[in-house]
Structure 1
């Protein structure tokens, strides 16, 4: 379980780095909107500032949810249930845990949910 804990900690560090970067991007877009013409809806240069803020906000929310999932996975490590499928109770494959370290289900149960 030490390997799982290390993997989750590394994944959390990367997510926090991504969150910091996105937060900086969001602040830059907001600051830029203060310094420009308020009518960006007709800007021939591309996306509107509102669109950019919305996109970055959605990415920030996604990273925060991922951090919550990583914290929950760390809790499962502490409880001794990490790597067990919450659907069927069988072990989650190593390849799946490597690709998705915070996953709660095996590939079979994940496929049934769709």
Structure 2
């Protein structure tokens, strides 16, 4: 994989992750706003999950998206250093197919 191809993959991954983060942040804000506008006892609601549970789920997904952004930054640093696509465990080349599927991969399939 060429550096140009890797850069394009990482940029696409960053764009996807930023869109996901924006959507999740909007969802979180909507859940919080909805809970402020009601005095419902959601902890004893037989209809389903509590607002606190939903808020916690979205918060966990936001954290996951933020960690993914850090992984993208780390991959960009490896690209700049010339170590992108090199397994951090055994030093073998990470197959292009793995990088295409998971642009932030740090290891080859055998070491994963």
TM-score, normalising length: structure 1:
0.94
Q: How far, CA to CA, are the matches of 2:78 and 2:40 in structure 1?
A: 48
Paired with 1:81 and 1:51, the residues of 2 have a C-alpha distance of: 41
Matches within 5 A, 1:60-79: 60-79=62-81
Q: How does 1:52-91 map to 2 (within 5 A)?
A: 52-91=54-93
User: In the alignment, what sits opposite 2:14?
Assistant: 12
Residue range with higher mean Cα deviation, 91-100 or 51-60: 91-100
Q: Distance in 2 between matches of 1:37 and 1:48?
A: 13
- Following superposition, the deviation at residue 95 of structure 1 comes to 1.2
Q: Matched residue of 1:108: which SS?
A: coil
1:103-114 alignment to 2 at 5 Å? 103-110=105-112
Give the CA RMSD over aligned residues. 0.8
Give how far 1:45 is off: 2.0
Structure-2 residue corresponding to 1:22 = 24
Residue number in structure 2 paired with 1:3:
5
Structure 1 residue runs of 4 or more that deviate by more than 3 Å after TM superposition: none
Aligned to 2:35: 33
| Per-residue deviation, residues 10-32 of structure 1 (Å, max 9, x unmatched) | 10011000000000000000000
